[in-house]
Structure 1
Amino acid sequence: MKKSIVWMASYPKSGNTWMRIFLANYLANASEPASINQAHRIALGDSITKMYGMVARRPIDPSDIDDMLRLRPQVLRGIVANNADINLVKTHNARVVARGVPLIPEEVTRSAIYILRNPLDMVLSYARHYGMTPEEAVYTVSHPDNANPPDAETVTQFMGSWSDHVRSWTTGTSAYPVLVLRYEDMLADPKAAFGQVVAHLGMPLDEDRLDRAILFSSFKELSAQEKKQGFIEKSEESERFFAKGQKDQWKTDLAPRLIKQMKHAHRKVMKKHGYLE
């Protein structure tokens, strides 16, 4: 069994979609921007209910968490069965063992790209995406048992708190390389950040191609495409997926008491990654 999965990992609303759309444009190397609604073809999600049904070869119930976990190893083996050198797979799962099942097993993993974002900004985007109040979102992303519940489209995603998630992917020994990128650094110097991704994947780095892919995956371009054709990954609870794409929105949009709660809950990890003095 080939170790070909490169995990595109992040807590929700941290820049995973932006990264995948960049890669869609870099790989296409076309003269026009790739459609945002084709990005899912670049990095297959690891929680797509249809995939679990395919390997089960029987009717399944996504709400049966134990059954979905039993099927997960088969789903991942199915992904690597194409014998490709690299299979990009998007995940919001923490790198943990859930009910005895390793969610990110070493035997199928080549490497990982982990994107994290200032949780003070992430929580605002999280609230919009999931149709929550900021207060509800602060509580949710700080809870150790936070998970995305199953539905007809996706099986349960085990995330835990933001701090737990970040720790799971960025600390401890690993049998494979993990490239850690901050969303804020992607904004400040996209050429350096995305250039690291290209190098991590072992692709040739072409400056013109890199510049064009960055331009074609700019927030202005993504927002314009969503306005024109919609975006299949937008949740029903939110008005739009690509809202602002900026940093430090929390300074004006997040209530002081919620800022205090977030800092209290996530201080150690925020400080480690440069989000607190």
Structure 2
Amino acid sequence: MGLRRLLRQAKVRLDARTFRQYGLARFDAEAVRDSDVVIAAWPKSGNTWMQCLVAGLQYGVDSSNAPDRLIQTLVPDLHQNRTGVVMSDTMAFKSHHTPQPQFRRVIHLVRDGRDALVSYWHFRKALGYTGGISDLMGETDKVYSNWWEHTKSWRTNPHGAEILTMRYEDLLSDPQPQLRRVAKFLDINCDDERLAQVISTSSFSRMQKREKKQGWDNKVWPKDAMFVRRGVSGAFLDEMSPEDIAAFETRCGDVLQDMGYELSSQDR
């Protein structure tokens, strides 16, 4: 049973000062402090993976065995609106938000928008979505917009945040130097052995095994669907039609190229 529910059942109402006094906080976008770090990414761009990596870096957690509830306690998801314990002077938070003025330190995690869109489509299908990729391409969410607007907004950095930009593909192909950048950004001292251990325990194969064994601390996600699906680079090439690839690249080819991704529709 969650702390918020317990307090509600006990009819206890705590103001913000009382929450801070007892090491508690309402973890939402408005509560992020200047010292905190927000891991910002469009959905299905490796944000949950980074959440596990940071939990391992910052708290020494073996995320291959840790229950999701523990990961969510250590690196909370700002979209779950939880009440939790303030674990450190620098908390890391998972978020899909576009830039917010209170987000002063940000790890901007970017994935090839074509792969992210395909993965997001599978995610939405598991939750009952019946449209195709082309239908989903035209959606604009009020929190995270679409892939290209989300990416452009963080590149523009309208509120002057300190931003560490990282590509999902670089983290996938050469994780150790990328994770070292994350550790430095979080002011965490760790040697190569520690980095290798965190990478190993947070590998996709281990995350998949953990999901099959423990599931997620989320009542919405169906038990017969895999949240950690493929986790590979370039999956869009065999999951998107040439027409959908061309349509996506027409919309945001400039953003893809700005992030170092090659266009493919012209070669198909």
Gap runs ≥5 in structure 2: 1-31, 264-268
Deviation at 1:26, TM superposition (A): 2.2
Amino acid aligned to 2:96: H
Q: Which amino acid is the alignment partner of residue 44 of structure 1?
A: P
Which among 204, 208, 213 is matched to residue 223 of structure 1?
208
Aligned with residue 164 of structure 1, among 149, 171, 184: 149
> Aligned residue for 1:114?
108
Cα offset, 1:84, TM superposition? 4.8
* Correspondences of 1:9-28 after superposition (within 5 Å): 9-28=40-59
Letter in 2 for 1:39: I
1:246 is displaced (CA, Å) by: 0.8
Distance 1:242 1:164 in 2: 25
Deviations along 1:99-148, one digit per CA (max 9) or x if unpaired, are xxxxx223xx441001111111111110111114572x4443444x324x
8 Å CA contact retained: 1:36, 1:222: no
1:59-138 alignment, distance < 5 Å: 84-95=88-99, 104-106=100-102, 109-131=103-125, 132=129, 135=132, 137-138=133-134
Is contact 2:58-2:188 (8 Å) kept? no
1:266 paired to 2:252: yes
Deviation at 1:167, TM superposition (A): 1.1
Say yes or no: does 1:7 pair with 2:2: no
Tell me the equivalent position of 2:175: 190
Distance 1:32 1:251, change over 3 A: closer
Given the superposition, is the C-alpha separation of residues 36 and 171 from structure 1 closer, same or farther in structure 2, using an over 3 Å criterion? farther
SS in structure 1 of the partner of residue 211 of structure 2: helix
Match for 1:23: what amino acid? V
1:43 aligns with 2:75: yes
TM-score if structure 2 supplies the norm length? Answer: 0.76
Tell me which stretches of 4 or more aligned residues in structure 1 moved more than 6 Å. none
Give the RMSD, CA atoms, in angstroms: 2.6
Equivalent residues of 2:53, 2:198 under 8 A apart: yes
Q: How many residues align?
A: 227
Structure 1 residue identity aligned to 2:75: A
Q: Which residue of 191, 194, 217 maps to 1:232?
A: 217
Counterpart position of 1:56: none
Contact 1:170 1:178 in 2 (8 A): no
- For residues 175-220 of structure 1, what are the alpha-carbon distances to aligned partners after superposition, in whole Å with 9 as ceiling and x for unaligned? 3310011110011100011111001111103111110000000011
1:47 offset after TM fit, Å? 2.5
What is the aligned partner in structure 1 of residue 195 from structure 2?
Answer: 210
SS at match of 2:153: helix
2:4 counterpart residue number: none
Structure 1 position 261, deviation (Å): 1.2
The sequence identity of aligned pairs, in percent, is 26
| TM-score when normalising by structure 1 | 0.73
Cα distance, 1:87–1:261 mapped onto 2, change above 3 Å? same
Other structure's SS at 2:118 match: helix
CA 1:196–1:32 in 2, change beyond 3 Å: closer, same or farther? closer
The answer to whether the 8 A contact 2:107-2:165 is kept is yes
Q: Deviations over 1:19-55 (max 9, x none)?
A: 110112223336784425122122222223455xxxx
- Residue 268 of structure 1 and its aligned partner are, at CA, apart by 1.1
Is this contact kept in 1: 2:52–2:202, CA < 8 A? yes
